[in-house]
A = this chain, B = another copy of it.
Amino acid sequence: MKSGLITIKDLARELKISASTVSRALKDHPDISAETKRAVNELAKKLNYQPNAVALSLKQRRSNTIGIIIPEIVHYFFSSVISGIEDVAYDAGFNVIICQSNEKYEREVANAKTLLASRVDGILVSVSKETEDFSHFYNLRNNNIPLVFYDRIVPGLEADQVIIDDFDAAYRATRHLIDSGRQHIAHFAGPQKLLIGKQRKDGYIKALKEAGLDVDEDLIIEADSFEKARLAIMKLLNTGKKFDGLFATNDLTAIGAMQTIQKRGIKIPDEIAIVGFSDGRFSGITDPTLTSVDQHGYEMGTIATEMLLKRITSEDDEYPFETKVLDANLIVRGSSL
């Protein structure tokens, strides 16, 4: 037997009244007599009646559900975003359907289709790395599904979006090293074809120039993983080139460099200060603890969801798109004191 769940009809039959009366009584409609309300609510409680959200969705053409398209849940940043989304959605009485693209274009297209079929009221999207054709997003928009992009946006697609100011964060991180007296600051950069890689490097360069420091190409090295950092720092140290600071494009890179530096007997932060860019919960458990940029994933999730809910519940369909840029602020820890 499928789902022996109680329906409004069951209550109606039992009480020998009509389904509509039951419906009204349940939502405390002013027309209904106190006596009837009491009886209905009592029986509903007794039989543990649960309204059928599916029927409601069909009726109202409104599912009170939002969809999320997310590259990979297991990354700390993304799971924090989800957490933020969940909390806001929950408070507003919305459900959340999560679809992972696993960074695959095909899967992302399927996700969009699924969410459309589920008639979600709106979708939060962070675009997969692989995606170059964006027609599935245009398709959603053509179907009047409100869309908010977070973190990874679609270039050229006007939409609500919330992103982090990577450029400014990198600028401030580098600036922090300069302010604390470092003059020769290296940068371990991400791939320059990726926006975040480029922006972080540009922020670094801006800070140097502004302070009147040379931009030394020998100190800018493309390395964006734990392993690559170990090799790169080794090579750099072997050149004999002097440097007293390092800004790494992410925490794992910073940590890989830090360990290797320490193995050489070089003191951190005394001889070399290090700053990372947060992508996990690593910064607190290194020795020394790692100064790093906080990406505010949770906050990004809450803000994106608020924007989406506003879009969903707004009467006026056509107010202009918003772009929110979050500050990613620097958390100073032991590695740069």
Chain A residues near B (Cβ < 8 Å)? 1-5, 48, 50-55, 57-58, 61-63, 65, 72-74, 76, 79-80, 82-83, 86-87, 90, 95-100, 113-114, 116-119, 139, 142-144, 226, 252, 255-256, 259, 262-263, 280-282, 284-285, 287, 317
Q: How far is the CA of A200 from the CA of B121 in the complex (A)?
A: 46
CB distance from A114 to the nearest CB of B (A): 7
Minimum CB distance partner of A118 in chain B: B53
Can you spell out 23 A-B residue pairs with CB atoms less than 8 angstroms apart?
Answer: A1-B144, A2-B61, A5-B119, A50-B113, A50-B143, A52-B58, A53-B117, A53-B118, A54-B119, A58-B58, A65-B97, A65-B118, A73-B83, A74-B76, A76-B76, A79-B79, A86-B98, A86-B99, A87-B100, A90-B99, A95-B97, A256-B285, A282-B285
Across the interface, do A83 and B76 meet the contact criterion of CB distance under 8 Å?
no
CB distance from A315 to the nearest CB of B (A): 12
Across the interface, do B73 and A79 meet the contact criterion of CB distance under 8 Å?
yes
Neighbouring B residues of A262 by C-beta, 8 Å: 287
Q: How far is the CA of A95 from the CA of B66 in the complex (A)?
A: 13
CB distance from A161 to the nearest CB of B (A): 23
Minimum CB distance partner of A285 in chain B: B255
Across the interface, do B58 and A55 meet the contact criterion of CB distance under 8 Å?
yes
Neighbouring B residues of A82 by C-beta, 8 Å: 73, 98
Contacts A4-B144, A285-B255: A96 and B95 contacting too (C-beta < 8 A)?
Answer: no
Across the interface, do A285 and B252 meet the contact criterion of CB distance under 8 Å?
yes
Minimum CB distance partner of A252 in chain B: B285
CB distance from A9 to the nearest CB of B (A): 14
Q: How far is the CA of A310 from the CA of B5 in the complex (A)?
A: 21
Q: Residue A53 contacts which of B62, B119, B143 (CB distance < 8 angstroms)?
A: B119
Q: How far is the CA of A142 from the CA of B49 in the complex (A)?
A: 12
Contacts A98-B86, A281-B280: A116 and B74 contacting too (C-beta < 8 A)?
Answer: no
Q: How far is the CA of A287 from the CA of B96 in the complex (A)?
A: 40
Across the interface, do A3 and B285 meet the contact criterion of CB distance under 8 Å?
no
Neighbouring B residues of A90 by C-beta, 8 Å: 99-100
Across the interface, do A3 and B119 meet the contact criterion of CB distance under 8 Å?
yes
Neighbouring B residues of A48 by C-beta, 8 Å: 139, 142-143
CB distance from A300 to the nearest CB of B (A): 13
Q: How far is the CA of A255 from the CA of B255 in the complex (A)?
A: 15
Contacts A53-B117, A62-B2: A86 and B74 contacting too (C-beta < 8 A)?
Answer: no
Across the interface, do A50 and B116 meet the contact criterion of CB distance under 8 Å?
yes
Q: Residue A86 contacts which of B55, B100, B263 (CB distance < 8 angstroms)?
A: B100
CB distance from A75 to the nearest CB of B (A): 8
Contacts A5-B143, A95-B97, A117-B52: A226 and B285 contacting too (C-beta < 8 A)?
Answer: yes
